Amino acid sequence: MRFGVCTGLDNEENVKIAAESGYDYIECGFQMFANASEEQLCEWEEREKKYNIYSEAVNCFLPGSLPVTGENVDYDALAEFVARGMKNCARMGVKTVVFGSSGARSIKEGFSYEKAVRQMGYFLREIASPEAAKYGITIVTEPLRKAETNMINTVKEGVLLAALADRDNVRCLADLYHMDQCGDTNEDLLMITDSVVHAHIANPVERDGKNRVYPLSADEYDYKSFIDALSKGTCERCSIEAGVTDFATEAPAAIKVLRSL
């Protein structure tokens, strides 16, 4: 399994630290690439080559202004945005696009849940998957805690959404923080490990008044059972996605914890 950390290619210092600390890749933002100028893309390409670390995964897929659920979904605008973003992502070396995007997928009060799920399946099957397939990119459905979205909250629901899309390059993600918040267990994860190809990890327990923070000690939370469960299946990458106070000290410490597992 390859280990990465979420940070932007626009932050050269963080990219340098990630590379020197021994991370295999970084995870940037899809919207960042989709909205980038040619000048920015060239700068980031050179930065990847300079430090020999690439953005193999991206999150923050869709902005809230491009919803995939509800009345009057603008599929033409979605298709244009996804096409531009996938092309730029491939240029940066992206292999996996994370479909979290709570603002774009949450269901408004009074709208049919069943219809919203079908809309998400349609978006993945007819718009996102074909564009991603042009570049060998996989899309992973990301379950999010209920405080962020009112649909697709558990790892099993993530599998169901991917199955609804019915495309080989639409798979699933497991996020330890969201699993903890939604009551998912490693036993639940073991049931679906053949569907999970990407993961996010963080310490979900409050530390110094903050939760969802970098893992800084192997004994502060049972990270090992999570990694062990992932290792029994098809998970290719696991990224640290968490709040950070001092990247220069926490990022090197966190990768040591992950390697120790």
CB neighbourhood size of 51 (10 A): 17
Q: Which parts of the chain sit beneath pLDDT 70?
A: none
For 186-223, letters b (16+ CB in 10 Å) and e give bebbeebbebbbbbbbbbbeebeeebbbbbeeeeebeb
Q: So what's the pLDDT on residue 44?
A: 98
Cβ atoms of 53 and 25 closer than 8 Å: yes
Q: Write out the two tokens for 218.
A: 């192997």
Q: What is the chain's Cα-based Rg?
A: 18
pLDDT digits (tens, 9 = 90+) for 38-83: 999 999 999 999 999 999 999 999 999 999 999 999 999 999 999 9
Cβ atoms of 172 and 141 closer than 8 Å: yes
Q: So what's the pLDDT on residue 208?
A: 86
Show me where the domains of the chain are located.
Answer: 2-260
Q: So what's the pLDDT on residue 207?
A: 86
Q: What is the pTM of this model?
A: 0.97
Q: Write out the two tokens for 260.
A: 């120790």
2-260 belongs to CATH 3.20.20.150 = yes
Cβ atoms of 240 and 7 closer than 8 Å: no
Name the region of 209 (left: φ>0; alpha: ψ -120 to 50; beta: rest).
Answer: left
Q: So what's the pLDDT on residue 24?
A: 98
Cα separation, 19 vs 45, whole angstroms: 15
